[in-house]
Amino acid sequence: MAATWIRPLLLTAAGLSAAAALTWAFWPQPVPVDIAVIEPGTLEVTVDEEGMTRIQDIYAVSAPIAGTVLRSPLEVGDQVVAGETLVAIIQPVAPAFLDARARRTGEATALAAEAAVALAQAQVAEARAQLAYSESQLTRAENLADRGIVSERAHEQAVMEVDTAMAKLSSAEATLDVRRRELDSARAALIGPEMEDPRVAGESCCVSVTAPETGEVLKIVTESEGVVLPGTPLVEIGDPRDLEIEVDLLSSDAVRVPDQAEARITGWGGEPLGATVRRVEAAGFTKVSALGIEEQRVKAILDIDAPPDVWTALGHGYRVIVHIITAREEALLVPLGALFRRGEDWAVFVVGPGERVQRRVVEIGARNIRDAAVLSGLQAGDRVVLHPSDRVLEGVKIEIRQSEDL
């Protein structure tokens, strides 16, 4: 008797359980979301670009003469003192090889120079003999003049002949000196790299190049020994405490940068540094981006406001991230992650009574990479949904995962 009603009771209970499970499965569940609270704050609009540090005054030391520069005595990072530290030593180059024609011509020139020296020596001997004769004649004329035998004119003539003979001797000796120098020049033209002349080697000298400014060695352009021409770069020197920052801005961003604009320097490995825009150059240039797009860029130069002791680790050519402040205002701020498009308008989902969301159209003003200024549509204290998914719709009940304050 009891079995007749137990079975229907069990079937009824099973059916109710299945219905409850289906109802629970298809019952709308609250959507978990992140929210932010609308509060007033300071909005900074920045131009963010990758920049590079550089020393303002770099001294490029070059070779003053042609020759063989010895291996550099310096290494990158060495300290140098202006006018004292030796940065390079340059030896004269070895003479070039002579071909058969050049050697024959040089030998003939040397022989002609030797003959010219011999001729000049003969002229010197002739001038000395003439001077000796003129002096003896002057002595005889002076003796006769003392006894009144010759006239005064004859005596003066003898004096003039002595003076003339002395001048000819001086001229002959000078000519001999010139001919000897010509002979030395002709013989020197015959010297080749295959000839070893200890006398010539001893007369050779080296050119010592010293640092033009006190600082550090930034780059050694010519490190190994080798032949250089005049003007060949050898070493670059600069003061690492005299840093500035160079950044390439899009021309559309450069026109928004005011004079003496404030900036922050990040991404260099230390705490953010304050900086000031010193100059935005008037001329732009074309630069191809990593995506192959041609862009018009403008260079901006910034001075670091922080004392050098704070950024001693920074050096020449280091990468930094530059944030130039183009505008700053006080306003209600809404995170960009809460905004989405509603036609041509901006809208947000506001958390209303009963934890249900309401779509609300807002008007925004200036914005940066994180926040936007609210002109209308929101009030301080309103809660908005961050990054709403396709499950967040008008009137949907939500479950708050976390709360972020601006």
Of 160-164, 202-206, 254-258, 349-353, least confident by mean pLDDT is 202-206
Give the C-alpha distances (Å, rounded to integers) separating 89 from 40, 78, 92, 273, 337. Answer: 67, 17, 10, 42, 64
Q: Reduce the DSSP state of residue 224 to 3 states and report it.
A: coil
Q: Is the domain of 264 the same as that of 314?
A: yes
Q: What pLDDT is recorded for position 363? A: 92
In a domain, 81, yes or no: yes
Q: Is the pLDDT of residue 161 over 90?
A: no
The answer to whether 325 touches 366, Cβ cutoff 8 Å, is no
- Percentage of the chain beyond pLDDT 90 is 26
- Is there a single domain that holds both residue 223 and residue 273? no
What 3-state class would DSSP assign to 307?
coil
How sure is the predictor about 279, in pLDDT bands with cuts at 50, 70 and 90?
Answer: very high
Neighbouring residues of 60: CB distance < 8 A, sequence distance ≥ 6? 221, 233, 235, 236
pLDDT: is 55 or 107 the higher one?
55
Residue 183 counted as domain residue: yes
122 and 141 in a single domain? The answer is yes
Is position 184 within any domain? yes
Give, in order, the Cα–Cα distances in Å from 186 to each of 51, 53, 197, 199, 360.
61, 57, 15, 16, 100
Q: Which of 349, 352, 362 is nearest to 389 (CA)?
A: 349
Residue 370 is assigned to a structural domain of this protein: yes
- Tell me the mean pLDDT in the region 346-366: 89
What average pLDDT does this structure show over 246-268? 92
Is pLDDT at 103 greater than 90 in this prediction?
no
Q: What average pLDDT does the segment 245-259 reach?
A: 92
Last residue of a domain, one of 219, 238, 257: 238
Same domain for 297 and 277? yes
User: Coil, helix or strand for 392?
Assistant: coil
Same domain, 112 and 190: yes
Residues 179 and 51 in one domain: no
Q: Does the residue 177 lie in any domain? A: yes
Q: Based on the fold, state whether residues 307 and 265 are members of the same structural domain.
A: yes
Domain boundary among 238, 258, 284: 238
pLDDT bucket at 16, cuts 50 / 70 / 90: low
**Length of the chain counted residue by residue:** 406
Q: What is the mean pLDDT of the chain?
A: 84
CATH number at residue 218: 2.40.50.100
**Residue 104 pLDDT level (bands cut at 50, 70, 90):** confident
Domain identity same for 71 and 122: no
Residue 5 maps to a domain: no
Q: Is residue 22 part of a domain?
A: no
Domain region containing 135 = 100-202
Give the list of residues 6+ apart from residue 172 with CB closer than 8 angstroms, or none.
120, 123, 124, 126, 127
Distance CA 205, CA 88 (A): 14
What does the alpha-carbon distance between residue 283 and residue 125 come to, in Å, rounded to a whole number?
77
Greatest mean pLDDT among 161-170, 357-366, 394-403 lies in 357-366
For the chain, how many structural domains are there in total?
4
Beta bridge partners of 96: none
- 134 shares its domain with 267: no
Give the model's pLDDT for residue 20: 59
What CATH number is associated with residue 351?
2.40.420.20
